Chains A and B, each alone.
Chain A
């Protein structure tokens, strides 16, 4: 197992096994065992208690956009605590994008109006870029997207500096407490206790409790996902030549500059596209002879789908789509349809619109064409049956297709198949399932209501909310994106406002707050 708990930030922890890291000290046994905690129990356990109405666990982009909404709705910073092992909300995101080949100057995947630093999405990134660079090009691209140009997407650097500005504006740093969250438990009399293990310099960690009415969870992914045969190879041999695209694997590109080699890429998502882009650009820039073999588990030959009005573009192995879900998931008819669906019907919608896909970018298409014509890029359909080290020291991959088994020789395997979505491998969420009556949705993740409240886990007037990857499978499919996190934040904020925590953001407040945002006025 690669990860048991939250962070992908620290690279050594990604390489190793998060589960093996010395974890925060365990809870006293009677607290550990109880579904409900009383104030006395916590006092007797010697945990110092901080009272605050709202706690957000995670402190990544999901927490950031939720807190941003609450602040704009008039909640003061004293009423909010963000509990995180990150010193900056974008750290994990920045780490994952960097290793998966998006440096700051590169463009990310989401669109012009997906702005985690601006709840209105206006001015959009394209408009801001156009003004800053005094060029109409970004706007011209938005006008022609997606049929006559690739989707406009902002540069990573612009996204991060925007969040930094907004963090300062909403006094995010005053709300942040760093440490590792150990558990969230329901409190007798309503609300919750959230236990944070705070690292003491040089000593063991110290545990503190937060007593709140509301808890928000945005803990991101549980960890990296390794397919069994890769994991086995890494366990018994090395993890130098068999890498996950979401861990730092710069050494592969460096080594290929020194010695010609063949790379086997697995996966057909956007990260696979990015990794092949990097390999091909390196090949060109440094005059290398790198060969690429691209392995597709499901090889997409062309447009596919059940009816003429439901066909996704595809070809050369890939399914093509601008973003990770069809665009109307974030506001159009697919959003409305999923919102009305329950149980198996909802699982069917997910199956229909889901599946690994990548963006159709003209630049990538050109690169792949060149590679195919030059004979140094090859795609292959099948699954990897086994991976071994050959007598010459190179890797031998055995690929099973419908009818045969092919033996492939490679120097590196870059696995681009993804991050771990299994929520039980995250300790805090697993704890909620076991102790707080939380349940699972039709695809097995955390069951949340339309307002992103964790169903079954209410405690008196208190509520737990969740957003991000853990809630995939709910009434809203696009959860694990900036816009999805903002949609969740909006629902959560509205629900909280109904309960008297913060104000409803009507047109007048919205306009006023936007005007403040535009002038970078602190709130």
Chain B
């Protein structure tokens, strides 16, 4: 799929909610986070929401960068490695206490959770997404 700006944003929000949501539901209980299951879910879903909210801004940046590419494409690899700057930003914000509602972060839990969500979302966007949404790839990733 070669994205348009609107398509990027819609795809990100949808996949984070659905795929990211499922991965978080499954993974959260086993992550090394202090407190009970409720705390696990609260912390991880806050991280997920942060990735989604910041993601809208990130997508605008990616869209801008893409303008320098003749083909106006966004290679698979870029979609994967953007995990690094995005993860780093979320982590820094968590550590600085700038994420509303989040407690003090645990690095190992964050790394496991963030990476698992990212890779799952990335994998689904590489192909399986086309199965239920047959128009998606021809519409720049738009779902609506």
Contact = CB atoms under 8 A, between A and B. Distances in A.
Interface of A: 113, 119-124, 127, 142-148, 305, 308-313, 321-322, 326-328, 330-336, 487, 490, 505, 507-508, 510-511, 514
Interface string B78-101: 001000000000000000000000
A120 B134 contact: yes
Contacts, number: 95
Contacts of B132: 507-508, 510-511
24 contacts: A113-B137, A119-B134, A120-B131, A121-B127, A122-B130, A127-B127, A143-B80, A144-B77, A309-B67, A312-B70, A326-B72, A327-B72, A328-B73, A331-B1, A331-B138, A332-B3, A332-B72, A332-B74, A333-B4, A333-B72, A335-B140, A490-B135, A490-B138, A510-B133
Interface in B110-132: 127-128, 130-132
B38 interface: no
A330 B70 contact: no
A336 B134 contact: no
Given A121-B130, A143-B77, A510-B131, A331 B70 contact: no
A121 B137 contact: yes
B77 A322 contact: no
Given A120-B134, A127-B127, A327 B71 contact: yes
B114 to A, nearest CB: 20
A146 B74 CA distance: 10
Of listed A312, A332, A336, residue having the most chain B CB within 10 A: A332
B140 A510 contact: no
Interface of B: 1-5, 7, 66-68, 70-77, 80, 127-128, 130-135, 137-140
B2 A328 contact: yes
A511 B70 contact: no
Given A335-B140, A487-B138, 14 more contacts: A113-B137, A120-B131, A121-B127, A123-B127, A143-B76, A313-B70, A327-B71, A327-B72, A327-B73, A332-B4, A333-B140, A336-B140, A490-B138, A514-B131
B127 A328 contact: no
Contacts of A310: 70
A355 B7 CA distance: 28
Contacts of B1: 331
Lowest 6 A-B CB distances belong to which pairs? A332-B2, A328-B72, A507-B132, A326-B71, A122-B127, A327-B73
Contacts of B4: 332-333, 336
B72 A507 contact: no
A514 B132 CA distance: 9
B81 to A, nearest CB: 10
Contact of B75 (A127, A145, A334): A145
B139 A331 contact: yes
B72 A331 contact: no
Contacts of A311: 70
Nearest to B128: A122
Contact of B131 (A321, A333, A334, A511): A511
Contacts of B68: 308-309
A145 B126 CA distance: 13
Contacts of B139: 331
A507 B133 contact: yes
B71 to A, nearest CB: 4
Contacts of B3: 332
B116 to A, nearest CB: 19
Given A145-B75, A326-B70, A331 B130 contact: no
A124 B77 contact: no
A507 B136 CA distance: 11
B2 A327 contact: yes
Contacts of B70: 305, 310-313, 321, 326
Contacts of A508: 132
A490 B130 CA distance: 13
A291 to B, nearest CB: 34
A511 to B, nearest CB: 5
A335 B6 CA distance: 13
A312 B69 CA distance: 9
A328 B137 contact: no
A335 B7 CA distance: 13
Nearest to A322: B71
B115 to A, nearest CB: 17
Nearest to B140: A332
Contacts of B72: 326-328, 332-334
A490 B134 contact: yes
User: Which residue, B70, B75, B133, B137, has most C-beta atoms of chain A within 10 A?
Assistant: B70
Given A313-B70, A326-B73, A331 B140 contact: yes
A341 to B, nearest CB: 15
A145 B76 contact: yes
Most buried by A among B3, B73, B130, B140: B73
Contact of A120 (B5, B80, B130): B130
B139 to A, nearest CB: 7
B134 A124 contact: no
Contacts of B128: 122
